[in-house]
Structure 1
């Protein structure tokens, strides 16, 4: 999918949103409920994740530019707590990303 289509979808352009949704639904038939991103594998195996170096990097760069990145900051905080053993990996932690 062209990067321009993805960028326009991020801006809320209806045609681009539809194109992204169609692609996502079409590609969904090639996935399995057993698939996990590498971070999910790390969490399942009790290994430290790279979230601080990914989402944490976004937070730090945003801070440098004067741009708040609250979702990335919340996500980094949750993962750090899991990495430190303060939280057990659990999908319910996604609720902590609600910022309103």
Structure 2
């Protein structure tokens, strides 16, 4: 699994799922598909969830940790967005914004 803090200048893009408690927002995250690199997963997940293109040259690994559910490794990144206009996939997220 990947987790990514998408930034543009001094702002960060955060999203929230409808099932979360009111006011809870998080960095973007998703699963790596079969045959996909971690970097490709970051680019794809960010675009699918919020419609942002990220600058591949800005993608930086931060840390990793075991994730018990569903028995995987969570790998964290920071990446800079090429643009700031969001197009939220309402099947994935209830809301997203720049904070």
Structure 1 length-normalised TM: 0.22
Structure whose residues are more often strand by fraction: 2
Q: Which of structures 1 and 2 has the bigger CA Rg?
A: 1
Structure 2 length-normalised TM: 0.22
Structure whose residues are more often helix by fraction: 1
